[in-house]
């Protein structure tokens, strides 16, 4: 029982991190029909920017804010310079965002150095609680709570506010939204920047969790996020939460019981989903 609880906590924490990354990816895809292969680059930029400001100021909150700002700025630049010229052309989008990923990843090495940076958990969140025989690591609980807050917040924005209505309508049918006199281009920019910021936050939260950051990390997590987006269904916000938790839990249980299968399990889930439901488990209605 104790074991199961701690495995569940591990799985949920990993799942939440992947969710933050996948949420932006899925929204951007659902709305703009752009699959952002540079998402991992934004993730790792968030991690570096956040951790360096955390090390500089000593405040993890400031680190998170720095990551958000970095994400927003990079998202803005990317949308304007890189995504805009290739709207509607899938092959070019894939190629160009992958190139961006490459540049972002190498830029990390130029700005922050090519070495692995060790990261310590902030003092307030370090250590663990002991409940009976179960040891609960505080930081993991923090990630889980943070993830659910983000989910709640976005769920609220998407379902209860006007901007959320526009975004959801845009996912369904962007021509119609445009015909109603809404500047969809601005919504695109807004969603892209938000997605980038979410990826950056995921990066900075992941850093103390894994204990070390390096430039190639972005790619590794981006692959997990891609798997999650495929399982959950492109463009579906709830789907990506569900799939992220599924992938997180499957990973943590497999890592304990059948270690050599722990990475294959994601692929197996994905293959099964693709064979039986190629559109993903949850799919946003497309008009």
Partner 1 sequence: MMNKPLLLSRSNIILFIILLALIAFPFVMDSRTLTILITQILIFGILAMSYDILLGYTGIVSFGHAMFFGIGAYCTAIMLNDFESTIGTFIGSIIVGMIIAGILSFIVGLLTLRLKSHFFAMLTMAISGLLLVVAEKWRDVTRGNDGFTFKAPEVFKDRVMFYLVVLALLVIVFIALKRFVSSPLGRVLIAVRENEQRTKSLGFKTLYYKVIASVVAGVIASLAGSLYAVSLRFVNTSVLTMEVTLDALLMTIIGGVGTLIGPLIGSVVIESAQHYLSGLARDFPIFERWIIFFGIIYILAVIFFPKGIVGTLQMKYFQWKNKKNQLNVVPLSKNKESSK
Distance CA 198, CA 149 (A): 13
DSSP characters for 27-64? HHHHHH----TTHHHHHHHHHHHHHHHHHHHS-HHHHH
Considering beta carbons, is residue 119 or 230 the nearer one to partner 1? 230
Cα–Cα distance measured from residue 186 to residue 190, given in angstroms and rounded to the nearest whole number: 6
What would the two tokens of residue 173 be?
């049918």
Chain residues in the site for partner 1 (CB under 8 A): 29, 35, 37, 82, 85-86, 90-92, 94-96, 98-100, 102-103, 106-107, 109-110, 219-220, 223, 226-227, 229-230, 234, 260, 263-264, 266-267, 270-271, 274-275, 278
CB of 170 to partner 1, least distance (A): 18
- Least distance (Å) from partner 1 to the CB of residue 94? 5
Whole-angstrom CA distances from 247 to 16, 91, 136, 232 are 10, 28, 21, 10
Q: How far is the CB of 83 from partner 1 (least distance, A)?
A: 11
Min. distance of Cβ 274 from partner 1 in angstroms? 7
Nearer to partner 1 by Cβ, of 94 and 125: the residue is 94
- The rounded distance, in Å, linking the Cα atoms of 44 and 46 is 5
Q: Which is nearer to partner 1, 53 or 266 (CB)?
A: 266
CB of 258 to partner 1, least distance (A): 13
**192, 83 Cβ separation under 8 angstroms:** yes
Q: Which is nearer to partner 1, 78 or 241 (CB)?
A: 78
Task: List the one residue out of 244, 232, 235 whose CA is nearest residue 280.
Answer: 232
* Minimum CB distance to partner 1 smaller for 204 or for 255: 255
């Amino acid at each position: 029982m104790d074991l199961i609880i701690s495995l569940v906590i591990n799985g949920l924490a990993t799942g939440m991190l992947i969710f933050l990354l996948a949420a932006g990816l899925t929204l951007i895809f659902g709305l703009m029909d752009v699959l952002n292969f540079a998402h991992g680059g934004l993730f790792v930029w968030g991690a570096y920017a956040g951790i360096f400001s955390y090390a500089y100021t000593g405040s993890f909150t400031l680190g998170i804010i720095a990551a958000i700002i970095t994400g927003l700025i990079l998202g803005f630049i990317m949308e304007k310079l890189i995504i805009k010229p290739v709207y509607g052309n899938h092959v070019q989008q894939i190629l160009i965002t992958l190139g961006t990923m490459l540049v972002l990843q190498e830029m990390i090495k130029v700005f922050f150095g090519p070495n692995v940076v060790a990261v310590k958990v902030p003092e307030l969140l370090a250590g663990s609680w002991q409940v009976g025989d179960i040891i609960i690591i505080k930081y993991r609980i923090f990630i889980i709570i943070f993830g659910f807050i983000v989910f709640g917040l976005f769920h609220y924005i998407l379902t209860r506010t006007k901007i959320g209505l526009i975004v959801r309508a845009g996912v369904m049918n962007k021509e119609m939204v445009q015909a109603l006199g809404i500047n969809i281009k601005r919504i695109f920019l807004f969603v892209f920047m938000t997605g980038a910021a979410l990826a950056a936050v995921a990066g900075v939260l992941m850093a103390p969790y894994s204990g070390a950051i390096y430039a190639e990390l972005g790619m590794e997590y981006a692959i997990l996020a891609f798997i999650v987006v495929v399982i959950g269904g492109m463009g579906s916000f709830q789907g990506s939460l569900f799939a992220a938790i599924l992938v997180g839990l499957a990973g943590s249980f497999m890592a304990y019981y059948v270690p050599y299968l722990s990475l294959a399990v994601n692929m197996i889930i994905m293959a099964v989903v693709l064979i039986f439901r190629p559109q993903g488990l949850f799919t946003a209605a497309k008009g």
